[in-house]
Amino acid sequence: MAQQIFSTCAVYFVVWWITLFAVLPFGLRTQAEDNHVILGTVESAPTKFRGWRVVLITTLVSAVIYGAWYVSSHYLGFGFDSIPPIVPRD
C-alpha cells in the first residue's frame, strides 16, 4: 500500500514538473514589452511576479493529465506494453 502511494506521488510529481515548464510562458509580459526596464535587470525579466497563478494553473492542468493517465492505465488497461516497438526485433 505504501509503495502504491509513493508511486502515485512520484508520477504526479513528474507530470507536475513537466507541466510547470509548459505553463510558465503563458501570459508572460516582459519588461521590454511593457517599456519599463528596471535598472540592473535584463529586458526579458517578467514585469509582474505570477508565482501563485503559475502554481495554481500547473496544479490544475497536471491533475487533468494525471487523471487521464490514471484512467487509461488502471481502467482501460493501457500501459507501456501497449506501445508498439519502433525498431523491428531480430
- Banded pLDDT at 90 (limits 50, 70, 90): low
Please give the average per-residue pLDDT across 78-90, as a whole number.
76
Q: With CA atoms as reference, report the closest residue to 58 among 89, 9, 90, 12.
A: 12
**pLDDT surpassing 80 at residue 11:** yes
What is the pLDDT, as a whole number, of residue 64? 97
pLDDT tens sequence across 16-66: 999 999 999 998 899 999 998 999 999 988 888 889 999 999 999 999 999
47/50 Cα distance (integer angstroms): 9
| Nine-digit cell string for 2 | 505504501
| Vertex 52 angle, CA 51 and 55, to 5° | 90
Please count the CA atoms within 13 angstroms of the CA of 20 that sit on its side-chain side. 10
